[in-house]
Structure 1
Amino acid sequence: MDTTTALFYFFSFVLLFAGFRVITAKSPVAAALNLVLAFFNASCIWMLLQAEFLAISLVLVYVGAVMVLFLFVVMMLDINVDSLRQGFWKHFPLAAGIGVLIALEMAFVLVRGFDLPTAKAFPPEVAKVANAKALGIELYTHYLFPVQIAAAILLVGMIAAIALTLRKRKDSQYQNPSEQVRVTKAERLRIVKVAPQVETPVAEEAASTQAGGQA
C-alpha cells in the first residue's frame, strides 16, 4: 500500500466518522463542528484526486462562510434539543431507506463515471494545463451560455435582496451623503443669541441676602 492509498483510507474513515457524529451528536454546536471536520476531510480527498479547485472551493465557501454562519445562528438561538429529538426512532426506518436509495444512486453514477472507454476525452489543450485552468477553459468555451444564464440569475437575486432590505422604514434614520458633502460652513454651525428667562443662582442669592440685611 502506497502513501496516497493510506491517506485516502485515513481521510475516508475520518469523513465517515464525522458524518456519523453529525446526526448523532446531542449538541447542535458539536454537530456543526463535526460537519466542518467532514468538509475538511472531503477537501483532502479531492486534493488526492487532483481536483484542487473543488477542494479549495469547499474550504472557502462551505467551511469559511456557510458553516461559520451556521455556528453563529446555532449559538445565538436557544434551541430545544429534546423537542427536536422526539419521534427520531419512529421515522428512522423511512430515513434509512431514503439514505440507502441515495447511496445506490450515487454508486451507480460513480461507477458509470469511472468507465474510461465511454468517458468523454478532454481536448489536447485542456489535458496539458492545471485542473483549475482546465475547468475555466471548459466553462468559458463549451459552457459559456449556461454560465452567463447562471450569472444573470444570481444578479437578479442580489438586486432583489438589496431592494427588499433598502425599503424605507419609519424607525430608521437615513443620511444622504451628497447633501452632507454640499453643506457649507454657515450651515454647519449657527450661533443664536437667546435672552435669559431665569435669573442665575448668584443673583438670587445676592437679592435674598440684601433683603435679609434690610430686615
Structure 2
Amino acid sequence: MIQTLAFYLFAVMVLLSAALTITARNPVHAVLWLILAFFNAAGLMVLLGAEFIAMLLIIVYVGAVAVLFLFVVMMLNIDFAELRSGFARYLPIGLVLAIGLAAEIIVAIGAYGAGAIELSRRASPIPDDVPNIVAIGNLLYTRYLFIFEGAGLVLLVAMIGAIVLTHRERGGTRPQNINRQVSRRPQDATRNTQPGVGQGIEL
C-alpha cells in the first residue's frame, strides 16, 4: 500500500515540477523546478528497485548538469535585486515546498523499507541473482539502446545551447585581437616617461 502511495506521490510531483519548469518565466526558478523533478524521478527509480539509476540522477543530473544550467542562467544578466525583493512574498510557498519534500522523504523511507514495487518485475524481468548494475547495463545497451543514445543527443544539444548563450556578442565593447597581442614586441608593451610635477603624460 505504501509503495503505491509513494509511486503516485512521486509521479504527480515529477509531472507538476516538469510543467513548472517549462512555464516558469524566471530562468532561475525554472532550473530549481528542474532539480525538483530530478529528485522525484530518483524517488521513482528507488521504488522500481533501480537504486543505481536513482544515484545517477542525483549525482550526475542534479550535481553536475543542473548546476551547470544554473551557472549559465546566472550569466544572462538577470536582475537579482528584483529576485531578492520578492523573497518575503514567496516565503509561504517555500515553506509549503519544504514541508512537502519532508513528507516525501518520510514516505520514501517507509516505501523503501517495505521493498521494491512489483512494477519492477514488469519493467525489467531479470533473475534475482543478477546484480542491479549488470541488469541495467544489459537493458541500456540492448533493448533501450536507441533511447539511451537519444538522451545523449538531447544533452549534447543542451550543451551547445548553453555555449551559444554564453558566447553571444555584447555591444559597446572592444573586440579582442589575439594575433595582435601575441605578435607585440616587448619594447612596444611599455614606455618609460619622466613627466614633470602636475603635467601628466600624453597617450
Q: TM-score, normalised by structure 2?
A: 0.45
The structure number with the bigger radius of gyration is 1
Q: TM-score, normalised by structure 1?
A: 0.42
